Amino acid sequence: MAFQLDPRTPSGPLEHRWSKAKQEMKLVSPANRRKYTVIVVGSGLAGGSAAATLGELGYNVKCFCFQDSPRRAHSIAAQGGINAAKNYQNDGDSIYRLFYDTIKGGDFRSRESNVYRLAEVSVNIIDQCVAQGVPFAREYGGTLANRSFGGAQVSRTFYARGQTGQQLLLGCYQALERQVDAGRVEMFYRHEMLDLVVIGGRARGIVTRNLVTGSIDCHVADAVVLATGGYGNVFYLSTNAKGSNATAIWRAYKRGAGFGNPCFTQIHPTCIPQSGDYQSKLTLMSESLRNDGRIWVPKQKGDTRNPNDIPEEERDYYLERIYPAFGNLCPRDIASRAAKMMCDQGYGVGPGGRGVYLDFKEAIGRLGRKTIEERYGNLFEMYERITGEDPYTVPMRIYPAVHYTMGGLWVDYNLQSTIPGLFVLGEANFSDHGANRLGASALMQGLADGYFIIPYTIGHFLAQVKPGDVSAEQEEFRAARQEVEQRTRRLLSIRGKKTVDDFHRELGKIMWEHCGMARNAAGLKHALEKIPGLREEFWQNVNVPGSGEELNQSLEKAGRVADFFELAELMCLDALEREESCGGHFREEHQTEEGEAKRDDERFCHVAVWEHTGDGQRPARHVEPLNFEFVHLAQRSYK
Ligand SMILES: Cc1cc2nc3c(=O)[nH]c(=O)nc-3n(C[C@H](O)[C@H](O)[C@H](O)COP(=O)(O)OP(=O)(O)OC[C@H]3O[C@@H](n4cnc5c(N)ncnc54)[C@H](O)[C@@H]3O)c2cc1C
């Protein structure tokens, strides 16, 4: 085994662990901070908040993103809200309850210490964002408003209409720009990280391609932070921004960073159904809609009547029926599987019977159209633009779609990967959500990581190393840069017959069919046979037009899809090895009589951490056991 999996979990009472850890961490004095260079790859909510905070502390920060502005990071798409245990509603919320809901929501596959810390700092995030001027929705009297999200029986979700991510990102962007202006953060727009440089077992820099000029450059640092988002686009169709990709974490994996639970993918229950084979993306309808929308299917199979003509007694509000305690607000994995089950049994609606209704009629009757407009106006407008149907008068049609990846690079309690000096934040790491993330918890985690955790833990690391003792002239940098150049040239030289999208679409189909909402051993083995063949064909027959010395989006995509091929194989392998069902990982062989996920705590109460052992070699699977000291492991129930 090449790497040690020490989660560095503090001991003692749960509620004192983070304070104790902070107390014990070493510090870099203010005068010494500018001697250290930190690279932050990513300027979404996780990376942007980290870069701004580290700049504010006085470190010399270089921040990279592939978009033309940090404001275009995928985080901007987040709609529904961000959780925090403020208990403003006086409805029984607490840090412990948010912690418990998150552990249970993740089907007991995350670390207690991390999740408790997340719940603890959630309250600081809201204060920080309010101070930045984020326009959260407010009650009539001026206090911050809340709504509910899945897997919770309290209202703890703070929101800015259906544009919460955008508003949080603007707050974060202002903080970042302030540091850019102060000269503490140097921003590299339109730069893509294509490799990680490891010297003497430590992360010492990255190789990037300037996406406008094609220039390939090396950047040296004392520590590297990856905050590069999730990899749901491995499925081709997902709710993620088209540019979201796995390249940064994949190249880090190939340089020695362990990959945690790669198969843990979240399928979101409320997306606009796919409408054709050549669609390039799917659109989310925020989970917040389930606060007021009621999900149903006709009681009669194959009923093609206009939904408004189907009387109440002929409708099955199946979530309210099966899960009366949580109803329409049961967690995403459960709501998604229930929708699939209804459609598989023939109750689905719309083209191909792949849809269920999300109906606001009752809420509009109770609250009035104006209130619904205020709460969800932009989402309704988006739905109407895409489908041509008016959701104020006709129920929305929705179906589950790939949305988020709980898997990612393995990190310890300090958010450090298995490579010393390489830290991973936000959706790019595997950490806090176990096998299923609760709604409104990704923004919470990204900002917790960036604003409140990394400033302490990276300081602790840097305080123990000498600043600036490597240069870009060193052999390791030169070799990594050469590899990037060769790979780029190779992609451009194939000049085959199929587009990058052709290959990506085919890969996505394999993944959705065999490693999607339901998985089984035969399907996963089949996928593991098909993917290498398709990957081989990609390297023989892909057509990447243009050159490497210019803006070339086909080339960008080709590099990302090449990495998706390799990651897809690891995901299938991980899904095959985990012979249990938990959260979003539903192995058909392992289910209860009622069709719920059946965990095997005896054999799988652990994080699976994969180690790259060389191209063409089977990666090594290691485990980090999960110890539950404070929470009783139970069969999840939302009934
Ligand atoms: C439609 C939608 C709605 C959502 N709504 C919510 C919600 O309401 N609440 C919630 O909690 N969560 C929500 N989520 C999830 C949440 O938005 C994401 O998990 C979160 O924003 C991820 O933030 P991040 O900073 O980790 O990554 P991102 O925002 O994806 O940022 C990644 C950054 O990394 C950069 N990058 C990536 N690769 C490279 C590379 N190789 N080189 C250089 N730069 C690179 C990008 O340029 C970008 O700056 C939603 C997700 C979707 C898809």
* Section 419-446 average pLDDT: 96
The residue from 17, 332, 481, 636 that is catalytic is 332
pLDDT in tens, 297-342: 999 999 999 999 999 999 999 999 999 999 999 988 999 999 999 9
User: Which residue's CA lies nearest to atom 2 of ligand 1?
Assistant: 78
1 pLDDT higher than 60: no
Please state the atom number of ligand 1 nearest to the C-alpha of residue 48: 25
Q: E strand or H helix at 51, and its extent?
A: helix 45-57
Q: Is the CB of residue 193 below 6 angstroms from any atom belonging to ligand 1?
A: yes
Q: Is the CB of residue 228 below 6 angstroms from any atom belonging to ligand 1?
A: yes
Burial of 549 (0-12, 13-18, 19+ CB in 10 A): exposed
Q: What is the CATH number of domain 476-613?
A: 1.20.58.100
**N-terminal to C-terminal alpha carbon distance within the chain:** 43
* Section 408-435 average pLDDT: 97
The pLDDT assigned to 278 comes to: 86
Tell me, in angstroms, the distance from the centre of ligand 1 to residue 549's CA.
Answer: 28
Rounded to the nearest 5 degrees, what angle is found at the Cα of 291, between the Cα atoms of 281 and 108? 75
The pLDDT assigned to 150 comes to: 85
pLDDT in tens, 568-618: 999 999 999 999 999 999 999 999 988 889 999 999 999 999 999 999 999
| Contact by Cβ (8 Å): 612, 258 | no
Tell me, in angstroms, the distance from the centre of ligand 1 to residue 247's CA.
Answer: 14
The pLDDT assigned to 2 comes to: 61
| Contact by Cβ (8 Å): 92, 101 | no
Cα R_g (the chain), whole angstroms: 24
User: Which residue's CA lies nearest to atom 21 of ligand 1?
Assistant: 75
Tell me, in angstroms, the distance from the centre of ligand 1 to residue 238's CA.
Answer: 13
Nearest residue to 322 via CA among 311, 312, 314, 330: 330
Q: Is the CB of residue 79 below 6 angstroms from any atom belonging to ligand 1?
A: yes
The pLDDT assigned to 4 comes to: 77
Region of poorest pLDDT, from 101-110, 145-154, 428-437, 553-562 = 145-154
| Contact by Cβ (8 Å): 517, 340 | yes
Nearest residue to 182 via CA among 30, 66, 57: 57
Q: Is the CB of residue 446 below 6 angstroms from any atom belonging to ligand 1?
A: yes
**Substitution candidate for ligand 1 out of 49, 63, 74 with most atoms within 8 A of CB:** 74
Supply the pTM of this predicted model: 0.97
| Contact by Cβ (8 Å): 11, 632 | no
489 pLDDT higher than 70: yes
361 pLDDT higher than 90: yes
Tell me, in angstroms, the distance from the centre of ligand 1 to residue 44's CA.
Answer: 6
C-alpha dist (Å) from residue 296 to 272, 314, 333, 389:
15, 10, 17, 18
The residue count of the chain comes to 639
Q: Is 332 a catalytic residue?
A: yes
Rounded to the nearest 5 degrees, what angle is found at the Cα of 539, between the Cα atoms of 534 and 541? 85
- What contacts 515, CB < 8 A, 6 or more positions away? 263, 265, 523, 524, 527, 568, 571, 572, 575
Q: Is the CB of residue 38 below 6 angstroms from any atom belonging to ligand 1?
A: no
477 pLDDT higher than 90: yes
Structure token pair of residue 87: 């208990």
Please state the atom number of ligand 1 nearest to the C-alpha of residue 445: 11
Tell me, in angstroms, the distance from the centre of ligand 1 to residue 47's CA.
Answer: 10
Find residue 61's DSSP bridge partners. Answer: 38, 185
pLDDT in tens, 516-532: 999 999 999 999 999 99
HEC-encoded secondary structure of 505-544: HHHHHHHHHHHCCCECHHHHHHHHHHHHHHHHHHHHHECC
Query: Mean pLDDT for the chain?
Result: 96
Phi-psi map region of 51: left, alpha, beta (phi>0 left; psi -120 to 50 alpha): alpha
Angle between helices 454-462 and 45-57 (to 10 degrees): 50
Q: Is the CB of residue 240 below 6 angstroms from any atom belonging to ligand 1?
A: yes
Nearest residue to 189 via CA among 433, 510, 551: 551
One fold for 268-402 and 476-613: no
Please state the atom number of ligand 1 nearest to the C-alpha of residue 426: 26
The percent of residues in the chain predicted with pLDDT above 90, rounded, is 93
Give the CATH fold of the 268-402 domain: Flavocytochrome C3; Chain A, domain 1 (3.90.700)
- DSSP for 255-321 reads TT--EE-TT-EEEEEEEPPP--TT-----B--GGGGGT-EEEEESSTT--S-GGGS-GGGEE-HHHH
Q: Is the CB of residue 47 below 6 angstroms from any atom belonging to ligand 1?
A: yes
Type of residue at 128: Q
Q: Helices in 578-629 by DSSP H: which ranges?
A: 601-604
Cα separation, 619 vs 142, whole angstroms: 55
C-alpha dist (Å) from residue 328 to 319, 325, 355:
6, 9, 16
pLDDT in tens, 72-87: 999 999 988 999 999 9
- What contacts 23, CB < 8 A, 6 or more positions away? none
Cα separation, 46 vs 66, whole angstroms: 15
Q: How many CB atoms lie within 10 A of CB 575?
A: 28
**Substitution candidate for ligand 1 out of 49, 64, 65, 238 with most atoms within 8 A of CB:** 65
Find residue 610's DSSP bridge partners. Answer: 259, 621
pLDDT in tens, 207-250: 999 999 999 999 999 999 999 999 999 999 999 999 999 999 99
pLDDT in tens, 606-625: 999 999 999 999 999 999 99
Cα separation, 439 vs 455, whole angstroms: 26
3 pLDDT higher than 80: no
Q: Is the CB of residue 387 below 6 angstroms from any atom belonging to ligand 1?
A: no
Long-range contacts of 594-597 (CB under 8 A, 24+ apart): 595/337, 595/341, 596/334, 596/635, 596/636, 597/107, 597/333, 597/636
pLDDT in tens, 439-474: 999 999 999 999 999 999 999 999 999 999 899 999
37 pLDDT higher than 60: yes
Q: Is the CB of residue 64 below 6 angstroms from any atom belonging to ligand 1?
A: yes
Nearest residue to 163 via CA among 49, 44, 82: 82
The pLDDT assigned to 349 comes to: 97
Tell me, in angstroms, the distance from the centre of ligand 1 to residue 64's CA.
Answer: 14
151 pLDDT band (50/70/90 cuts)? confident
Residue ranges per structural domain of the chain: 268-402, 476-613
Q: Is the CB of residue 426 below 6 angstroms from any atom belonging to ligand 1?
A: yes
